[in-house]
A and B are shown apart, each in its own frame.
Chain A
Amino acid sequence: MAEEAHNSNSMNALPKVLVLGPPTCFITLQPLYSHKFHFLNPHTSSLSLQHFLHHHHHHPSSVSAVLCGASYSVTANVLCLLPALRLIVTTSAGTDHIDLAECRRRGIQVAGAGELFSEDVADMAVALLTDVMRKISAADRYLRTQQNHDTTPWDFFTFGSKLAGKRVGIIGLGSIGMEVAKRLESFGCIILYNSKHKKASVSYPFYSSMVDLATTCDALVLCCALNEQTKHIINREVMLALGKQGFIVNVGRGGLIDEKELVKCLMEGEIGGAGLDVFENEPHVPKELLAMNNVVLSPHSAAFTVESMMNLCELMGGNLEAFFLNKPLITPVMLPQ
């Protein structure tokens, strides 16, 4: 009994970290860092966040750090409940689930996954592009469902497109975009790009107009963040400019594409195909896409590999440690001015 009380006291002495979501890596992270932080996990309770904190005698003013995942929206309302909050650590590279303007107003620092997932996401982008262009998933499905090889010969299966020599437009030439470019260059692709700004350090041709980029390209790969400027950056006009032989891959955010128009263009044969890891209203996926042979679908898994999960735990723990030791964050997120 005395030991239990001692454990409880020593837990209370640890810095408190409120876990919202809970994020991807929490199962792995918790045992590694439970001796350093007292994790409060409302997910294990049926109570609302406010009631959870009061019920467990954790005054909101005692919570200075939050750990969350991309699936939890940290809105201004959530921030209001946590007056002492000074840090949000998110396990995602994207931050569109956090009200960054409100964080800035309240003096809350934000740390993300930084470039941790760049190579995993880049691998996935290339995997989706090669799959949809060379028809890997479609061919696999064709072969498994084929009953009689003599009446539906193998050479009935339609040709894919070779990657070598194709012009690929990368939208968002940040760390992920650069990694995608490097990979595609090894396949003999010609790289072009659109980004917020022209990059002085790269020799790839820059296009400020999405329509011009699409007109020039055989494929587009979306690697940019979702914000007001990039919402529906791929609209009908861009898709028509890309053309009937063109392919779109999205490993960014679903809202980068006008999904209704994408479905229409695919159904009408206005574009060649798509590889999608993200969707506009997840987990809803338009039913029409499920029946199409020229699309490859993935359940928002671009960032997750065995390797990235381990690295993510270390990074999240490292950011929390840095904060509580008054050191600079490892992967701070720039807050809007």
Chain B
Amino acid sequence: MAKPVSIEVWNPSGKYRVVSTKPMPGTRWINLLIQNDVRLEICTEKKTILSVEDIIALIGDKCDGVIGQLTEDWGEELFSALSKAGGKAFSNMAVGYNNVDVDAANKYGVAVGNTPGVLTETTAELAASLTLAAARRIVEADEFMRAGLYDGWLPHLFVGNLLKGQTVGVIGAGRIGSAYARMMVEGFKMNLIYYDLYQSTRLEKFVTAYAAFLKANGETPVTWKRAATMDEVLQEADIISLHPVLDKTTYHLVNKERLAKMKKEAILINCSRGPVIDEAALVEHLKHNPMFRVGLDVFEEEPYMKPGLAELKNAIVVPHIASASKWTREGMATLAALNVLGKVKGYPVWFDANKVEPFLNENARPPAACPSIVNAKALGLPTSKL
């Protein structure tokens, strides 16, 4: 039996009981729940990851919905417990839901929410930030300065690479991948090669238009190409940014063999999901190729890194902060809370999960809808006509 976990209770006399497995940023999400007759219980346990047993204890005998985190294992056991307690909804405070067994949720009739739309810009921005930091060796230089080693200007100190004219490779040209590609192409005049199962017409049109603009101004136009295979991107690109969804087909997408296909001085960025890269193989590759650089926001077994990674100078490692801007995280908390609240109240599902601005406007009441339910179709939930 799990030890009792510490909780903070809001609106104790509320009609609906909703549990949040972690304190979340901001207060708007709390206010929205308690204004709608919700008794909110926030787990304040100082633990990075709650176990299944911990969460079952939190759910208890009566629970209408749970707001959880990407680090939790939401499978048969938890959905069974939530359903028994009368629960109708679970929402991740994340876009991804590879921690959720959606089939199990369907079996128990539990709606699964996520928080897309609010993350596109900020995640693409972090991928671009990691790209720049790696290309210009910012983290290494900063460490050098802090160690008090700067005793005069030297031309060979942390010589990086100019981005202009290089090729950026994007694997997965969905919302985030495309936003990142646009930043790098327009901002740094990089050429683009991308791989996606689907053609990204909007991205292609954008790069074509930008190339025409450059040409009209007497500058070298940028180019784009949709690769027939992922390996083509790996072989041709100077910078590769990974933006696929994580599923069986993308697990260890970047492995020892694929790393070997990349340029010796390539830069690899991952702000998607950790298991997309075989991290142990990456550590070995970085050790044997000191000019190869990597920027990682996600890891295979968070919150741990594979042995040796933290010691490598040609790796930049940050603790899953792609969404770590105040506006974004507060927005995610709001969307996750409204997913659960909407289902509890019997609201329909919002017509477009990527157009969530009306839910984030602090000066207006949010629409009476669930912002994003990933299994809405499977559960036969109605859609908002707004």
Measured CB to CB, the residues of A under 8 A from B are 23-25, 70-71, 119-120, 123-124, 126-128, 130-131, 134-137, 139-144, 149-151, 153-155, 157, 159-164, 182-188, 282-283, 285, 290-291, 296-301, 304-309
Contact = CB atoms under 8 A, between A and B. Distances in A.
Contacts of B125: 130, 134, 162-164, 187
Contact of B324 (A70, A159, A183, A308): A159
Interface stretch (B99-107, B282-290, B311-319, B352-360): B311-319
Most chain A C-beta atoms within 10 Å of own C-beta, residue among B135, B182, B324 = B324
A139 B129 CA distance: 12
A97 to B, nearest CB: 12
Contacts, number: 188
A142 B319 contact: yes
Given A164-B121, A187-B128, A300 B153 contact: yes
Contact of B133 (A137, A153, A182): A137
Interface string B320-344: 1100111111000000000000000
Nearest to B302: A154
B132 A308 contact: no
Interface size class of B (residues with CB under 8 A): 35 or more
B69 to A, nearest CB: 8
Given A136-B318, A160-B324, A131 B132 contact: yes
Give 9 closest A-B pairs by Cβ, nearest first. A186-B187, A24-B155, A297-B145, A127-B132, A130-B129, A139-B318, A162-B325, A153-B48, A154-B319
A203 to B, nearest CB: 16
Contact of B157 (A183, A299, A308): A299
Nearest to B185: A186
B325 A299 contact: no
A123 B163 CA distance: 8
Contacts of A298: 138, 141-142, 145, 158
B317 A123 contact: no
Interface of B: 22, 25, 46-48, 121-122, 125-126, 128-130, 132-133, 135-136, 138-139, 141-146, 148, 150-155, 157-164, 182-183, 186-188, 302-305, 310, 316-321, 324-329
Contacts of B150: 283, 285, 299
Contact of B325 (A23, A144, A159, A307): A159
A308 B155 CA distance: 11
Nearest to B126: A134
A236 B53 CA distance: 55
Contacts of A119: 162, 164
A297 B160 contact: no
Contacts of B328: 162
Contacts of A144: 310, 317
Most chain A C-beta atoms within 10 Å of own C-beta, residue among B135, B141, B302 = B141
Given A143-B318, A153-B303, 4 more contacts: A135-B318, A154-B320, A164-B125, A300-B153
B141 A299 contact: yes
Contact of A299 (B47, B158, B329): B158
Given A127-B135, A297-B142, A305-B160, A140 B152 contact: no
B153 A297 contact: no
A138 B305 CA distance: 17
A162 B188 contact: no
Given A123-B135, A143-B310, A285 B145 contact: yes
A288 B325 CA distance: 26
B319 A151 contact: no
Contact of B48 (A120, A154, A187, A307): A154
B304 A157 contact: no
A139 B130 CA distance: 11
Given A157-B324, A307-B162, A127 B138 contact: yes
A155 B22 contact: yes
A250 to B, nearest CB: 14
Most chain A C-beta atoms within 10 Å of own C-beta, residue among B46, B129, B133, B135 = B129
Most chain B C-beta atoms within 10 Å of own C-beta, residue among A139, A140, A142, A184 = A140
